[in-house]
Amino acid sequence: MGMIWGCSEQAKAPPPPPASTPPEAPASGPASKPGSASSMPAGHDTSSTAVSLEDLFKMPETPDVVVEVGERKVPRAALEQILRQTQIQLSATGLPAGFDRPRILQGAVDQLVDEELRNILADELGVKADPGFEKQWLADLEARMEAQPSFKVFLLRAGKDRAQRERDAHRAAVMEAVVQKIKAGAKAETEAEAKDYYARHVADYTDRAGVEVWRIFVKAPRGMVQRDRDIARARAEDLLAKAKKDPKNFTNLAISYSEGGKATDGGFVGWVSPGTLAPDLEKQIEAAKPNTILPLWEDAVGFFVYKVGKRRDERVRPFDEVADEILEKVYRRTITKKVDAELARLKAAQAVKVHIPELEQK
């Protein structure tokens, strides 16, 4: 007979780190065996009296079904996957104080139960995973794996093969569908509060009058060797000539050659309002027509090539235009609480049976 959780919430230890958010794996060097002394942070207990991670995370003897949530059955393989990934996480971060095997097993069970409760909630709300969201979630993960080989190694060691990553993407899409459904209900419920917030923060939703400005920066502080500063000036003048020849290519020039923090944005500074830049520079910007490249600008830090774009008048964005932004910014916590409340309601209503003899003995 498995353990049955009653309707009241029992005090329990915090679960292991969630399986969906693994930390970064070591940047370089050979992968050490999980639980070995070389994989532990400084100060971690690696003495012979310390229990090894292998022992703590050893798969317990269980039947094929480890957890039942209502009519839903969770297979043994799901528990095994969570234990394996959490072991790898803690081999990098170290075992928290007081974290013992019962807590680890209970935390893994909690994750399995929570996942099934989310699926039940999705069914109740009548929502399904969006295939487009799944595809994008998976594409973002694959891109990160290619960009960070150590992260890729971490996931593969944790059993995150392609099939498992696709299942993770589906789980994420289900939860996103749940959140969006509840968010839609919360929007109607909290619209009066949102309008009140908008009225009190209308300045945050006011676009000031200004001019679109882009720039390319060539670093050349006045204290540098004059010969080097002359070389920097020549580079800036060459970029100026290229920008004048083809203003539409300005963003590519900025991405490739600008040494400023805006380079990755194609040099886009933003909508510049009066009083933002040096007065003489602002006069040039004010007098320029759209799509104009200004003369080379020099100051104490180096040389700048500026491009001027469109102009706009001051505009207050109407509430309907920013309502979703306000709900996302201000009421995300409210929506999260609503989701948690729904999951708690389902947990109290569902018969949850745990078929792990090792936990039953505790």
pTM above 0.75, yes or no: no
For residue 213 the two structure tokens come to 């400005």
The answer to whether residues 266 and 251 touch, using CB atoms and an 8 Å cutoff, is yes
Same CATH topology for 3-190+332-360 and 209-313?
A: no
CATH fold of 3-190+332-360 reads Triger factor/SurA peptide-binding fold (1.10.4030)
The sign one gets for the Cα dihedral 76, 79, 85, 87 is: negative
Spell out the domain ranges in the chain.
3-190+332-360, 209-313
Structural contact between residues 225 and 357, judged by C-beta atoms closer than 8 angstroms: no
Please give the pLDDT value at position 361: 58
Tell me the backbone φ, ψ of residue 173, rounded to 5 degrees: -70, -35
Determine the topology of domain 209-313 in CATH.
Chitinase A; domain 3 (3.10.50)
Nearest to 327 by CA among 186, 205, 182: 186
Q: Cβ distance 23 to 89 under 8 Å?
A: yes
**Residue 164 pLDDT:** 85
| Residue type present at position 123 | D
Amino acid identity, residue 301? Answer: V
Both tokens of 291, joined, read: 């799509």
Q: Are 93 and 21 in contact (CB under 8 A)?
A: no
Residue with tokens 């009421």: 331
CA distance 330 to 197: 9
What pLDDT score does 6 carry?
A: 34
pLDDT at residue 32, rounded to an integer: 41
Place of tokens 């060097």: 29
CA gap 358, 102 in Å, rounded: 8
Contact 71, 84 (CB under 8 A): no
Alpha carbon distance 349, 342 (integer Å): 11
Tens place of pLDDT per residue across the chain (362 aa): 444 333 333 333 334 334 444 444 433 333 444 444 444 444 444 433 356 878 888 898 899 999 999 899 999 999 998 898 888 878 777 778 888 888 999 999 999 999 999 999 999 999 999 999 999 999 999 999 999 998 898 888 877 889 889 989 999 999 999 988 888 877 667 777 888 899 999 999 999 899 999 999 999 998 899 999 999 999 999 999 999 999 999 999 999 999 987 888 899 999 999 888 999 999 999 999 999 999 999 999 999 999 999 999 999 999 999 988 887 777 777 788 888 999 999 989 988 899 999 887 55
Residues 6+ apart with CB under 8 A from 154: 22, 23, 24, 25, 88
Residue type at position 332: R
Q: Is 4 left (phi over 0), alpha (psi -120 to 50) or beta?
A: beta
pLDDT at residue 51, as a whole number: 63
> Which residues, including other chains, have CB under 8 Å from residue 292's CB and lie 6 or more apart?
247, 307, 308
Q: Are 37 and 54 in contact (CB under 8 A)?
A: no
- Reduced to 3 states (helix: H, G, I; strand: E, B; else coil), residue 309 is strand
